[in-house]
Chain A
Amino acid sequence: MNYEKQKVRILLVEDEWLIALTTQQILQDAGYVVVGPAPSVRTALELIDSDRVDVAMLDVRLGKDTSFPVAEALRRQKTPFLFMSGYERQDMPDIFNNYDIVAKPVLPAILLEKLSSLMTEDKC
């Protein structure tokens, strides 16, 4: 799949506003369009329904909830995504074994690299 950078829409799910703000800036600086950021499962699912989402970045912990329902929805519609969290692999459900986990705090360079590799991998 070939992505035009200007057109790639990234769904950002992150409950910590300052982190969301910072990440959003990194992504926007790199030329992506940020959908969100969404602080909750409800908002994220609404955005998936209403907007085009090409790629997604999910924080695992959203307040008391986890972003697994969002991940499940994305997996089902075959939208590539990665987790961005302090969680380790062993803390994750097995069905998401194939998805990458970027540890927080993440360096902008690594984040962008992961993103682009996610988009070049033909996962869809």
Chain B
Amino acid sequence: MPNTAIATGLVDFAIPAQEMMDKIVEFARGLLSSNVATVPAEDEEVMSAYRQINEILRTRIGHDFSGYKNKTFYRRVNRRMQIVKTETVEEYAKYLAQESKEVNALFRDLLINVTSFFRDADAYEALQATVIPSIFEGRGAANSVRVWVPGCATGEEVYSIAMLMREHMDTLPTVPHVQIFATDIDASIVAVARSGQYPEALVEGVSEARRKRFFALEGSTYVVEKEIRELCVFSPHSIVRDPPFSRMDLVSCRNVLIYFGSELQNQTIPTFHYALKPGGYLFLGSSENISRFDYLFAPVDRKQRIFRSRAQASGGVLVPRLTPGIPMAPLPSAVRPLKTAPGSTLRHTAEARVLERFSPAHVVVNQDGDIVYFSSRTGKYLEAGSGAPSRNLLSMARKGLRLELRTLLRASVEKNSACVRDNIAVETDDGSVQILTLVVEPVEVADQEDRLFLIIFADTGPLVSRENAINRPRIADDAIVTLLEHEIRETRDKLQGIVEEYETTLEEVKSTNEEILSVNEEYQSTNEELEASKEELQSLNEELQTVNSELTLKIDALDKANSDLCNLFDSTQIATIFIDQHMLIRSFTPVASKLFNILTSDKGRPLTDLSPRVDYPEMTDHIIKVLATGESIEHKIKSLNSEQYYLARTQPYRSSDGDLKGAVLTFVDISILTKANINITNLKATDAHLRLLVAELNHRVKNMLSVALAIVKQTLAGSPISKEIYNSVVGRLHGLAASHELLVLESWSDMNIVDLLHKHLSPFGLDRIRFPNTPVLLKPREALSLGMVLHELSTNAAKYGSLSSPEGLVTITWFEGPGDGNYRRLNLQWEETGGPPPTAPAKRGFGMSLIQQEVAYTLDGNVDFSFMHGGLRFNLDCNIAQ
């Protein structure tokens, strides 16, 4: 938003917020002190300073503000003086001469660009109700409607009109080509208008419906929609300096003329008349008027300042002046109406009466010969010519007078003094002749810029007949005189003829000149249009360049993607073939070429024409199916001449929008997979066989143990050995069998110490043997050894220890800790309590020896038996594998 504001050039200061306060105070002070200066003193120095300022503007910017209203001009200059903090106009003029930036700033300020959408809503309603329908009436698609908005400023007026036109166009069956030329002298403001972007505050005047229809909201900015924007052509142009546009249906120039002085207004309004087609409309601001040009324009709606160009205005075609200050060839038809001298006093009336009765007929003309005042009774000398009404003296003069009048007027203009010619004959309508004296003398009239000349037609003698008149000058009867007079008359007649011829030629030259001028204007208009088109083209070109650079980027990305794909194709070991709906080959990977004998030249050939090296007769059916259903098909195939297996997958090829555009065939080599599968199957069989063997073996070992047990039992049963020995042998064999059974259950893998204890100790009643549920994993061999130890301990406890009495208990605890190298340390304690006092520790039986040796030999550990008062305490320390 601030940037947009600065871009309009209407912002005087763009400064940080903390500095604003000081600036405002400063500015307010300047306002107070400069109040005096707002009304410029009639001081010659001040005036010359203003002129100097104007001169600087004219030379630097090329725009002449001398025609602008003085008050406006002074006010604007004073405003700038406050901003740059200069006290006097002279100082400011000096400052302006040095600072080129200030010249631009002043220029901007002088062109106050205050406008808004639908400023004066009533006026726009009137425009919509009457003017626009009338403009479009009877225009077909081949016609065009042209509108010119000079002084368009930031474009609100242009877009307002464009919106009205668009709305009207919506009601028409055929729409003519509409062009709205929007011009402003300030090129930078034209650029702002061209962009068509407005902050929300500026579009408040636009109704909600129009805002929705004609604007796009981008952030907080309203952007004029393309359909409106395309109606408008923007270009820098000066109404005063540049040639006008032409053949317009409507010229809307609101609140521009108010800043112009009367001379500039007088120049501009005929320009508008020129620019308009006959019957075209002129739309002015509420405080502007056509002033005295009502012969050029007829009011349509006086209140809303809508005027209509008169079809054939009196005074002929008004060609506007191109360069002010350089006089153009005077055109006799370009009448500038001049004010007549007022006179109202009695004396004046009386004098006028006397003059009317007794004075000779006279007229007052300007130096171009245009009559600005007629006296009474001039009809004898002047008559209205045919064609367009004209007030030119020479074209109105009666025969015989024209030449004399021209000569005398020219002489008088040149000499700036009175010129007299006697004895001039003028022919009246009835054929009689009046002799008269012609006087032409310059007159000084106050308030008149043009030089004026009084022309007096003073009759000498009464009317005479033609014959008398011819004979009248016969002063001497001299034949020579007669001859000479005759000769003179002839010469005069010839001269008259030549003069008439000359005048005709002059008229022709004039009309040619006019034609050239209007052709020039046409060219100028065409040129403007071309420039506008060029500007459009440039912006189009810029757009194209942006699009082009975007495209280049996309192409780069595409190239990369393509090369990635090519590399993927080349590197992949998966044979892939792309075909279209008609089974024609589109592309394939190098591996596929081996499988199908495809050459690069085969692209575009039907896939079915090729003879594949794989056994896949169903391929065509599969492709047809996939193309029909869009579902992929997998099929396992074999190579024709080698042990290669492939997984052929036919998949639909879908374009980015999901349409079925063909199919993709992939052939994945699954030979290794197939072989591995076979191997796995074999392994599985071996594994199963081994399992069977192991189970059989386990069974056999169990049986063997049972048989061994049975043999021992049978052998010992008949022998005279003690019951004790029998029990211990059989018990140990049972213990071995129990451990073995456990290992079989665990498939000879690691065994939990808790399970081992359960197995060996449950026959003695687990309510009396207590141990924690702390898991320690043992290797099978370790489990067998420990099982043997537990068996010896428990049978001993049941025979002699705590389990032999009903109150006795066994408490087993163990802990596991880090050991040497790959081993862990296991410590196990067996504590008997509540049993009978332990007996004979010295008598170490085979049991204790077995425990000690087994632990030392197999477990690389040591044991300790201590016989406390309450019973045996056994401690085991050994290494177990990780």
Contacts and interface: CB of A to CB of B under 8 A. Distances in A.
Interface stretch (B98-106, B742-750, B850-858): B850-858
A17 B781 contact: no
A39 B781 contact: no
Interface in A1-50: 15-18, 20-21, 39
A39 B854 CA distance: 11
Residue among B781, B853, B854, B857 with max Cβ neighbours from chain A (10 Å):
B857
A108 interface: no
A63 B857 contact: no
A39 B857 CA distance: 7
Interface string B319-355: 0000000000000000000000000000000000000
A18 B854 CA distance: 8
A16 B781 CA distance: 10
A63 B857 CA distance: 12
Contacts of A21: 853
Interface residues of B, number: 6
Contacts of A16: 858
A63 B781 contact: yes
B750 to A, nearest CB: 13
Contacts of A17: 853-854, 857-858
A31 B856 CA distance: 26
A106 B850 CA distance: 22
A15 B781 CA distance: 10
A41 B107 CA distance: 113
Contacts of A15: 857-858
B551 to A, nearest CB: 74
A17 B853 CA distance: 7
B631 to A, nearest CB: 57
Nearest to A40: B860
B781 A20 contact: no
Contacts, number: 14
Interface residues of A, number: 8
B782 to A, nearest CB: 10
Contacts of B857: 15, 17, 20, 39
Contacts of B854: 17-18
Q: Interface centre among A18, A21, A39, by most B CB within 10 Å?
A: A18
Interface in B827-882: 850, 853-854, 857-858
Interface in A38-95: 39, 63
Nearest to A38: B857
Nearest to B732: A18
A6 B781 CA distance: 35
Contacts of B853: 17, 21
Contacts of A18: 850, 854
B466 to A, nearest CB: 165
A84 to B, nearest CB: 17
Interface in B141-185: none
Interface in B593-626: none
A10 B858 CA distance: 21
A27 B854 CA distance: 20
Contacts of A20: 857
A25 to B, nearest CB: 13
A43 B853 CA distance: 16
Nearest to B736: A18
A60 B857 CA distance: 17
A17 B788 CA distance: 12
B848 to A, nearest CB: 14
B876 to A, nearest CB: 15
Nearest to B853: A17
A54 B76 CA distance: 134
Nearest to A16: B858
A42 to B, nearest CB: 10
A82 B857 CA distance: 22
A21 B165 CA distance: 124
Contacts of A63: 781
Contacts of B858: 15-17, 39
A18 B853 CA distance: 9
A21 B781 CA distance: 18
Contacts of A39: 857-858
Nearest to A63: B781
A96 B847 CA distance: 39
A120 to B, nearest CB: 32
A67 to B, nearest CB: 16
Nearest to A14: B857
B9 to A, nearest CB: 97
A103 B850 CA distance: 25
Contacts of B850: 18
Contacts of B781: 63
A63 B782 CA distance: 10
A31 B853 CA distance: 23
B712 to A, nearest CB: 14
Nearest to B784: A16
A63 B853 CA distance: 17
A39 to B, nearest CB: 5
A17 B854 CA distance: 6
A18 B846 CA distance: 12
Nearest to B854: A17
A63 B858 CA distance: 9
A64 to B, nearest CB: 8
A21 B858 CA distance: 13
A121 B857 CA distance: 33
B358 to A, nearest CB: 163
Nearest to A21: B853
A63 B781 CA distance: 8
B881 to A, nearest CB: 8
A109 to B, nearest CB: 20
Nearest to A17: B857
Nearest to B849: A21
A59 to B, nearest CB: 13
Interface in B771-797: 781
B777 to A, nearest CB: 16
Interface of A: 15-18, 20-21, 39, 63
Given A15-B858, A21-B853, 12 more contacts: A15-B857, A16-B858, A17-B853, A17-B854, A17-B857, A17-B858, A18-B850, A18-B854, A20-B857, A39-B857, A39-B858, A63-B781
14 contacts: A15-B857, A15-B858, A16-B858, A17-B853, A17-B854, A17-B857, A17-B858, A18-B850, A18-B854, A20-B857, A21-B853, A39-B857, A39-B858, A63-B781
**3 nearest CB pairs, A to B:** A17-B857, A39-B857, A17-B854
